[in-house]
Structure 1
Amino acid sequence: MLRTLFTSAIVLFATVSFAQIQTGKASFYADKFEGVMTASGEKYKRHKFTGAHKTLPFGTKVRVTNLANKKTVEVTINDRGPYVEGRIIDLSRAAAEELGYTNLGLADVSLEVIDPGDGKTSDPGRPIDQVSVDEKEFYEFGIARINHPKGYGVQVGTYQELVNLMRLADNLKNSYKKDVTVQVKVLNGVKYYGLILGQFSSREKAEQFREELRNKFPDVFIVEYNRL
């Protein structure tokens, strides 16, 4: 059963017009994410010049400048994030090394769109709406809206493209035999979908399940439904 939980959130930073320069903090991917699927359907590769942004379309090319040393790098957006206040982009290790801040962890950067792309990922010929799903695949969903959920769940990730969410939800439900709940978040007019597994009566049971998931999903975390 797929359940949807609708919430809204207020963005803590101003809307930015990308005809201008966006400034903020840049982080970079930990090595443990090597080979992990990104929101676009591509696998993260630390030697490629890629990045995660909250709203820019996949395939967008941006120039990132380290404001401390004026070094620049051009990367292609293929993932979503970072979801930390003040951070505007999460870069691959290769890109962070080019900017010279891997020893610091974070850098103050400016970000400028240099090519808006064509709605595709950086893998030529793979439109976003076809990533990861074959045209002959079909999914049947029993959807029930829940207004006041209780207990605890384990969140696997946050996604913007429903096509990726559908396949992952199906795989997780079959693998772990747990109900799947989707939390719909609206950030600055853009919808994001949090994928949550299970509805546990106690935090202890949720923690046990989180440990079971960590081998495949290192960043899973526990959510308390009535606090979402």
Structure 2
Amino acid sequence: MRFVPILVMFLLVFGCAPPPKVSKKVYAPKAPPTQRPYRVGGKVYYPLPSAQGYVEEGVASWYGPGFHGKTTASGERYNMYAYTAAHRILPMGTKVLVTNLENGRQVIVRINDRGPFVKGRIIDLSFAAARALGMHQKGTAWVRIQALSETSPKAHLSLKGRYFIQVGAFANYANAIKLKEKLRKRYSIVTIEPYSKDGRTFYRVQVFVANDLGRAKKMLSLLEKHFPQAFIIAR
């Protein structure tokens, strides 16, 4: 019983103490290293948070013996006999349907490296992929690349459809609104498409430009003058 007064005092003192302060700071997960902006040759590249709807045409090249066994940007060892490829901004792991427009051959590759950084080229293929497309001897070919959805093992691009051009992606919604209002002065349909990945939300600003790929490509060449990172989205 002699400890009762001490216990009562203890409860009175600490029972009236203010509750400990709880930090309200929210720690958002950082983007994986392969998704962060990077600089090559004085130019900054911004990897896309999503490859959904990505379509691009241009020159493909391939890389082989000089890089075989070396570490890629994804951390994997480059295997020239695997069906992989390097792209400047597509997310690592994206599966891409590559069509050689010069002979109609197709192959599916997985993006696991960054490049090519030669002007005018859009994708660097492994030796195995280049051989499958029949371009390994020539070295380059004019191709179309189309990102495949995770649920579809293979997709064929129709020239008719709804084509948008993505001109920017922002983590800050206010910046996306600003760009949308600016573009609305020239384009009637401008949308903001939110996309969430790894706890981060991005707001993609896209402009509807055409119902066929040919017209969309012409509009892309105009928009690229002001937005070098612009690319076509097929819906």
Q: TM-score range by the shorter chain?
A: 0.3 to 0.5
Q: What TM-score do you get using the length of structure 1 for normalisation?
A: 0.44
Which structure's CA Rg is the greater one? Answer: 2
Q: Which has the higher contact order (CA 8 A, sep 6+)?
A: 1
